[in-house]
Amino acid sequence: TAQLNGLSVDQIAALSPTQVAALSTAQIAALKTSQIAAIGTASLNALSVASIAALATAQVAALTSDRIPALTTAQVAGLETADLDAMSTAQILAMTSDQVASLSTVQVRAMSTAQVAALSTEDINAVSTTVVASLTTAQLAALSNTQIVALSTSQVAALSSTQVAALTAAQRASLEGTDIQSLSTAAIAGMTTAQVRALTQDQFAVLSNAQVAALSTAAVVALSTAQVASLTTGQAGALT
């Protein structure tokens, strides 16, 4: 690998995709960070998943933002958690929605709160419900109101009671009516009295009878007079 390691960045950049694809994982792993950064997008795309997985953390961090979109979804899925965690927010922002959607729950949980906050609304909407359900409370808290709004009803429905309880007041206020309706009864039951009381009248009005029945006694007792007055006959009848 000494010969390969001695090539200039211009020589590395001149390698064709076929030539780069012919390099072994050991050869790729031996390249300097400056050489990794010089690999063209087409050549980077030609690397095997094994070669991508063999990259050192510093090598992954050396990839410029314009190179990131060139990675295939299989290559992204092959990134080790340490490599993903070492990526800058600019690199994360450069990822396509398809690339983000290819990330596993293990990979996403390894991301920092800053990285999660850097995801675009399209990226957020692209992740699976399984990934959403695996987000840590710290990662959820890092999401902006705009990102919360971008969540689909099925993604919101995947949130656990612990996750819902961890949402900030501003985030909960961003939930749309269909999102509120999609929350599980367990998630509703896990809401604190302050969280329930903070629901707007519009949000409270869309709660199903089953969701109202799932409210804790303490939460019901803490309802505002406006919330009580807005109860439908069905919701009132669901109270135990």
* CB contact at 8 A, 74 and 52: no
pLDDT reading at 200 higher than 90: no
Q: Which two tokens stand for residue 209?
A: 């009878």
pLDDT digits (tens, 9 = 90+) for 108-163: 999 999 999 999 999 999 999 999 999 999 999 999 999 999 999 999 999 999 99
φ/ψ of 152, rounded to 5, equals -80, 165
pLDDT reading at 1 higher than 80: no
Residue 51 vs residues 43, 47, 104, 113: alpha-carbon distances, Å: 12, 6, 19, 28
Its pTM stands at 0.83
Q: How confident is the model at residue 202 (pLDDT cuts 50, 70, 90)?
A: confident
* CB contact at 8 A, 116 and 142: yes
pLDDT digits (tens, 9 = 90+) for 67-104: 999 999 999 999 999 999 889 999 999 999 999 999 99
Residues 164-195: b if buried by 16+ CB within 10 A, e if exposed? bebbeeebbebbbeebbbbbbeebbbbbebeb
Residue 205, Cβ density class (10 Å: 0-12 exposed, 13-18 middle, ≥19 buried):
middle
Percent above pLDDT 90 for the chain: 80
* CB contact at 8 A, 3 and 30: no
Cβ neighbours around 146 below 10 Å, total: 11
Looking at every residue in the chain, the average pLDDT score rounds to 92
**Three-state secondary structure call for residue 135:** coil
Q: Which two tokens stand for residue 27?
A: 């050869």
pLDDT at residue 214, as a whole number: 94
pLDDT at residue 89, as a whole number: 94
